[in-house]
């Protein structure tokens, strides 16, 4: 696995494995979120190949596409926005329209993608990597610049008003490792202070 992706996974798991019972994992299939106890044939294939040990079934699992660093940041951004009930459903209970959406579907797609891609942009800044919006449609002419502006404006609003708690903690950990050169342990310890208080079992109430 790419060393940077390994580092990112280590930070995510260090922050959220106990507090939110959630792990970040590489998979050979498309991006996927599965709540604890749930699996699919594709995930079982990953278990067989050693990508996701079977004893992790008790965790919620966030699978990134084919081990891509940018996919990890994108999927984490969606997870950071999903509320408690959404996180108990496969892919947060949302239906995904694949590439080839019509104009109406594309507009709906962009509306729900503004906030997560704004967080993704901030995550990219934290690791000092370039960010490019994704309109995820090769069959329709899309005003990418207009969408990018909406994402920029939402990112600026997050900077002014604050990020969701999980996103704020994750960004802090990324910045601490990639730019301040702290150890993973130090970065996680700092970022944990930005999460809501946890109960006796170590999990967020």
In DSSP notation, 79-139 reads: HHH--TTGGGSGGGG-----SS--HHHHHHHHHHHHHHHHHHHHHHHHTT---------SS
Task: Please state the rounded mean pLDDT for residues 89-117.
Answer: 72
Output 116 or 110, whichever has higher pLDDT: 116
pTM score, whole prediction: 0.86
pLDDT digits over 173-201, tens only?
999 999 999 999 999 999 999 999 765 45
């Amino acid at each position: 696995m790419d060393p940077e992706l390994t580092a990112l996974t280590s930070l995510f798991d260090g922050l959220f494995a106990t507090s939110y019972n959630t792990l970040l994992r590489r998979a050979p299939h498309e991006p996927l979120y599965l709540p604890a106890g749930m699996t699919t044939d594709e995930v079982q294939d990953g278990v067989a190949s050693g990508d996701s040990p079977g004893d992790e079934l008790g965790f919620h699992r966030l699978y990134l596409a084919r081990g891509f660093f940018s996919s990890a940041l994108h999927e984490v951004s969606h997870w950071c926005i999903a509320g408690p009930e959404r996180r108990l459903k496969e892919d947060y209970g949302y239906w995904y329209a694949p590439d080839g959406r019509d104009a109406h579907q594309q507009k709906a797609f962009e509306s729900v993608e503004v906030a997560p891609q704004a967080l993704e942009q901030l995550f990219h800044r934290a690791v000092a990597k370039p960010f490019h919006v994704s309109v995820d449609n090769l069959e329709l002419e899309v005003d990418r610049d207009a969408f990018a502006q909406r994402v920029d404006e939402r990112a600026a609003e997050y900077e002014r008003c604050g990020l969701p708690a999980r996103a704020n903690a994750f960004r802090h950990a990324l910045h601490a490792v990639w730019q301040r050169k702290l150890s993973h342990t130090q970065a996680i310890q700092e970022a944990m202070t930005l999460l809501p208080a946890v109960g006796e079992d170590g999990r967020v109430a």
